[in-house]
Structure 1
């Protein structure tokens, strides 16, 4: 539910909104989801990546990358976490246009031991008080707040199955070469159709350096082709993180990262990490009658590991061929 709670005076440039939902889960479960930003990219559809810059159990400073009205934005926020009162307040340090300032508060109210009301408040100002800016912000808040509330509701109500549905795994390859050459291979994903046999098509745009949006057709071991869309954030020359914004039918979320670390004795170790949440309702539809979540885990692990390991091996061949 979305409610406009702006002050009624037409001269006011500050606007307020309220979005809410009822969740069939205990209030402390809901609070824990909101408090742990490390898992937001898996839980919240708009969130691409979140990094905690500093903080403890009461206060933190975080950097957020997220989609808004089809664009990728990023900002730094400060948060105050209040477990006793089941609330989290937040305020953007520096906002991106058309947002001049934004803050708000998550509030969880127990309705019963097993049911909670979750409310998400925002206050904001548009750059120069622009009406177009206000409309853009409201549309983004309505879309993203609904997606975040839906994500929290879905995860909280699946809390007892989350360990079964969510899993992470790594693939690592040692490369006897300069890490910069490995990075070049991974960073230049626009060249993957020429460099990787399992990539049939890849369209990449990078309007802001280090922020890549891409659509890719990937061939799996069984010959089928999957289309995915991703946002990638590039950090220096040793780490690339990404989130698939369009995922295959078996998943509700897929995030990953590439890391390049100097190895003892020379060269680098290159690791591909995947984190996936399985869509339980799609398992039999995709894999066949009688198939289980365990079957889906094995299938997804095998498919993703095969492709990422092939990418790592080709990156190794590319980098090692450039030695000297």
Structure 2
């Protein structure tokens, strides 16, 4: 049974990066999935009582996603970010807290995080503490490696205009269980949908150079707007891979865009051959990911336009 409780945890760490850089990293929710394993997506819902309101989705394990609504307040002049979390579920405990960033000498900074669970609800105190500690440590690592990550992260978006119904293109990409029949480079896909709009699937694909890959992904599907994905079991060359299918209406139809953000694993470069450089890997990923994406875009376009009688 839910009980009234108030527990506070704190975590502090030093990072070899300016405080302003770390502040921007924490405030940039759209970039969290690149370096923080559980983060999948953050959707801005609007502005309320001086706070920016977001819904967040985190993957908990290979079959579970947790989501909650959060109110964030950004105090850049104080280098402080405060938050209030309202998790989903009648028994889940809400929490509040803040991140503070203290400038130190030689361009380094201290991150001070504090979070308090307050009110009726249930929670796992060990997970509560572990998640905050891991999140802060990932911020510190990503900030300290910001220069290196600029080289290792390949980030791009391919757009395509579609004259057919947006809903048909959305359904084409949403119905991933039908991809082996519809998309030539997908040979196998096993789909599970534990909650509406939340999908996990194992997929076997082939890149244009003939290489085969098996991956497991999680997707957050927001009808008529965006399908966000994150690979949680990655190919050997990557430390991370996230992206989306985005649907933007126009007066004549809509723009369907495929985005990829892939992080190269430096010690895996020899997979592409002796002497492979980071630049070689960037060019390889840009080519193979874009080739597959454009193929999918064209297939979704043809499907929607055919059904729309274009």
TM-score by length of 1: 0.83
Q: Is the 8 A contact 1:75 1:96 kept in 2?
A: no
Q: Higher RCO, 1 or 2 (CA under 8 Å, sep at least 6)?
A: 2
Cα RMSD after superposing both structures = 2.7
Secondary structure of 2:279 counterpart: helix
Residue aligning to 2:300: 315
Unpaired segments ≥5 residues, structure 2: none
Say yes or no: does 1:140 pair with 2:114.
no
User: 2:96, 2:117 within 8 Å by CA — same for their partners in 1?
Assistant: yes
Distance 1:297 1:134, change over 3 A: same
Q: Secondary structure at the match of 1:223?
A: coil
The 1:88/1:75 distance shift into structure 2, 3 A limit, reads same
CA contact (8 A) 2:67 2:87 kept: no
- Distance (Å, rounded) in 2 between the aligned partners of 1:269 and 1:60: 27
User: Is the 1:68–1:144 contact (alpha carbons within 8 Å) kept by the matching residues of 2?
Assistant: no
Secondary structure (helix, strand or coil) at the match of 1:25 reads: coil
Superposition deviation, residue 188 in structure 1: 0.3
Deviations 1:149-190 (A, max 9, x none): 232122111222343333322223333422222111111011
Q: Does 1:45 align with 2:45?
A: no
1:281-313 Cα offsets, whole Å, 9 max, x none, are: 433x33233222211111111111111112122
Give 2:17's aligned residue: 25
Q: In 2, Cα distance between the equivalents of 1:194 and 1:166?
A: 32
Question: Residue deviations 1:227-276, cap 9 Å, x none?
Answer: 22222222222421222223323333322111233455x44432211122
Instruction: Determine whether 1:258 maps to 2:245.
Output: yes
Matched, 1:100 2:86: no
Q: Give the 3 Å change call, closer, same or farther, for CA 190–76 of structure 1 in structure 2.
A: same
> What are the superposed Cα offsets for residues 99-157 of structure 1, whole Å, 9 maximum, x if unpaired?
221122212334433333323222115855xxxx433xx34334433432232122111
Ranges in structure 1 where 5+ consecutive residues have no aligned partner: 1-10
Q: State the secondary structure of the residue aligned to 1:309.
A: helix
Closer/same/farther in 2, CA of residues 80 and 269 from structure 1, 3 Å limit:
closer
Find the partner of 2:276 among 291, 294, 306. Answer: 291
Q: Please tell me whether the aligned partners of residues 152 and 264 of structure 2 are also in contact (alpha carbons under 8 angstroms).
A: yes
Contact 2:154 2:285 in 1 (8 A): no
Are 2:56 and 2:67, in contact at CA under 8 Å, matched by a contact in 1? yes
